[in-house]
Amino acid sequence: MSNESVVTTHTGAVRRHAAPPSGTSWTAAPGLAVRGGFVGMAESVPGISGGTVALVVGLYDRLLEAASQVVHALRELVQGVAQGRGLRPARQVLRDVDWRFLAPVALGMVTVLLVSLSVIAPLLESQPVMMRSIFFGMIAVSVLVPLRMMPWRFRGRDAALLVGGAVAAFLLSGLPPAEVADPSLWYVVLGAAIAINALVLPGISGSFLLVVMGLYVPVQEALSERDLAFVGAFLLGAAVGLGSFVKLLHWLLEHRRQATMAVLAGLMIGSLRALWPWQDVDGGLQGPPDAAAVVGPVLLAVAGAAVVGAALWWEASRAADDV
């Protein structure tokens, strides 16, 4: 039996879409929700990319594929309504989405993100050195993930792409934060469109981009105050940004996977700048005040690295058992 569904467009062209994986069952929902929760928690921390965590917990490829299908369905919906074809084309595409995978992941992601915004942000303000130390260790070990996902051996060209990605992320993460007291809605749309790409791009933090654009605090305030106009503008921008970027990244992973993974690894390395434990109020890098002040952060970084290392080992062991 073919593992494809067929959609006929208004021009008569035939599009084939892979059917949803048959291996996903609702019994896997709790575990998927927990993994999605880790991704959501990462998005609440300036300097950590949700895409990075999605790589670590083994969600990245499937999450990107599902997002690509949803974006395609939205485009079919808009085109179908505009051209008088109704909702049928969009429904056909949506049937291809693996909802047993996407629904619990999205639920866990959104739930934990909303909780983390009120829990982790205060900890980052009260204990910045300790919190950044933990995350530094976690992300440093996570660089192994895209390197292990390369289909071929690491080559000279891959090294050049890795260095380029690292330099770009290092410079971007060094941008000073902006202060925008009362952002206009068009600026909110633009900021959301840019920041949402970090959700699918490891190494670039969506929260950090919001900080750079001066929108991090306004977004938190809008959520707590239930500012529907602000939240609506943000969601609109997120939809536009995701729709314009996710298809491109999905294509790159399918057709240029080796080069893409090299760039992603570089982005993750360069983004460590934003997680350096000792920084001034503007994000400038500093050294520890004295030798004794190094011990605690180093131990926390090692602990964070150990947690991620254990998770990677468990994931590799489980994958080996499934073969």
pLDDT over 80 (residue 276): yes
pLDDT over 60 (residue 52): yes
pLDDT over 50 (residue 21): no
Alpha carbon distance 104, 112 (integer Å)? 12
DSSP code per residue over 214-266: T-HHHHHHHHHHT-HHHHHHHHHHHHHHHHHHHHHHHHHHHHSHHHHHHHHHH
How high is the pLDDT of residue 226?
84
* Cα–Cα nearest to 317, from 9, 72, 58, 95: 58
Is the pTM higher than 0.85? Answer: no
How high is the pLDDT of residue 319?
61
Mean pLDDT is lowest, of 11-25, 153-167, 193-207, 274-288, for 11-25
pLDDT in tens, 125-141: 788 899 889 989 988 88
Calculate mean pLDDT across residues 50-76.
Answer: 83
Helix 60-82 vs helix 228-255: angle between axes, to the nearest 10 degrees? Answer: 110
* Cα–Cα nearest to 208, from 155, 135, 264, 261: 135
Identify the helix (H) or strand (E) that includes residue 4.
strand 4-8
Domain ranges of the chain: 24-322
Contacts of 231 (CB under 8 A, 6+ apart): 222, 223
pLDDT in tens, 78-100: 777 777 777 777 777 788 788 88
Strand partners, 16: 6
- Give the angle 87-88-92 at the CA atoms, nearest 5°: 120
Contacts of 65 (CB under 8 A, 6+ apart): 250
Contacts of 21 (CB under 8 A, 6+ apart): 62, 98, 101
Tokens representing residue 223 in the block: 């959520």
Distance of CA 52 to CAs 9, 150, 200, 207, 238, Å?
36, 15, 8, 13, 19
Q: Band the pLDDT of 322: cuts 50, 70, 90.
A: low
Alpha carbon distance 168, 173 (integer Å)? 9
pLDDT in tens, 212-259: 788 888 888 888 888 889 999 998 988 888 877 887 888 888 889 999
- How many residues make up the chain in this entry? 323
Alpha carbon distance 69, 178 (integer Å)? 35
- Give the angle 52-54-55 at the CA atoms, nearest 5°: 65
